[in-house]
Amino acid sequence: MDLREYMSVRRAYNIVRQDQTPDDRLTFEEFAILCRLLISNEPMKTSAIADYQGALRPTMTHRTNHLARLGLIDRVEGERDRRNVVCSISELGARRVRELSELTCSRIPSGRSLGRTSPERICRYVDAMGSFFCQAGDIVLLGLRAAGGGPLTVMQLVDALGLLQPTVSMSVAALAEAGYVTRDRGVSSLRTTSVSLTARGAKAAEELEESIEGIVVRRKLRSSRA
């Protein structure tokens, strides 16, 4: 996977997620869990899902509990060890994957990378991308790298990343404090603040991109039971 593909999918899903009601809204990581379960077409232990996402057990318990409350997965405790929870995707979960994949696909403009892809391929990409956890600040760094290091205004970053303006602004502030970006504030409005990568930020963004290039997308979906 390359950076352009990664950013196209993340941007599109960020926009789709904003359009969901708060009760139905899924994080990218939760969407990826559903894609992994659908593609695997078999139950998975929470420990295996945690390994797949590189997440701690409590974090994975929180994610799968949320998906279970929404009726998107079924969770079954082991008979001998209740910590050995097995998850499988429900019919509702399979429908949600198809819905979110179609919406994400529709949000990628034809001129962008993966602009002519299919919902099925989006599902495969999200599954693969779920193995790489990326915080909002990381997404900002990657967005600036994709733009040649900047400068981009906060509102240009909002458009490029599909994130809400407060999320981008808070991420930029944290990155600036840590020395990853510089800010050149406009005179009339903070929204005209120009953001650029520092040498430290450029190195961090390069390392993130190298991790993305190591992501392998599965070629073919197995038949789903839904």
Is the domain of 184 the same as that of 91? no
Q: Is residue 226 part of a domain?
A: no
Is the domain of 68 the same as that of 177? no
What is the number of other CB atoms lying within 10 angstroms of the CB of residue 40? 18
Write out the residue range of the structural domain in which residue 196 sits. 136-213
Whose structure tokens read 């998107």? Answer: 72
Retrieve residue 58's tokens: 């409590």
**Crossing angle of the two packed helices 154-161 and 136-146, in degrees rounded to 10:** 100
- Identify the pLDDT of residue 24: 87
Is the Cβ–Cβ distance between 64 and 73 less than 8 Å? yes
- Identify the pLDDT of residue 222: 47
- Identify the pLDDT of residue 83: 64
What are the start-end ranges of the H helices in the chain? 3-19, 28-40, 46-53, 57-69, 91-106, 119-129, 136-146, 154-161, 165-177, 199-213
The tally of domains found in the chain comes to 2
- Identify the pLDDT of residue 192: 72
Is the domain of 116 the same as that of 51? yes
Is the domain of 198 the same as that of 105? no
Is the domain of 92 the same as that of 118? yes
CA distances to 34, 71, 171 from 205, in Å: 28, 37, 14
pTM: 0.88
> Which helix or strand (DSSP H or E) is residue 54 part of?
none
- Identify the pLDDT of residue 179: 97
- Identify the pLDDT of residue 82: 59
Q: Is residue 223 part of a domain?
A: no
Is the domain of 82 the same as that of 189? no
Residue 184: CA atoms inside 13 Å, Cβ hemisphere, count?
Answer: 9
Is the domain of 104 the same as that of 166? no
Q: Is residue 50 part of a domain?
A: yes
- Identify the pLDDT of residue 150: 81
**Domain boundary at 129, 148, 174, which?**
129
* Average pLDDT per block of 10 residues along the chain, 226 residues long: 96 95 93 96 91 92 94 82 81 97 95 91 96 94 94 94 95 96 71 88 97 86 43
Is the domain of 112 the same as that of 159? no
For residue 178, what are the contacts with CB-CB under 8 A and spacing of at least 6? Answer: none
**Domain boundary at 129, 162, 183, which?**
129
Is the domain of 28 the same as that of 82? yes
Q: Is residue 20 part of a domain?
A: yes
Q: Is residue 142 part of a domain?
A: yes
Give CA–CA dist 97/38, Å, rounded. 8
Retrieve residue 3's tokens: 């950076």
- Identify the pLDDT of residue 221: 47
Phi and psi at residue 196, in whole multiples of 5°? -135, 155
CATH code at position 9: 1.10.10.10
**Domain boundary at 111, 129, 147, which?**
129
Is the domain of 152 the same as that of 118? no
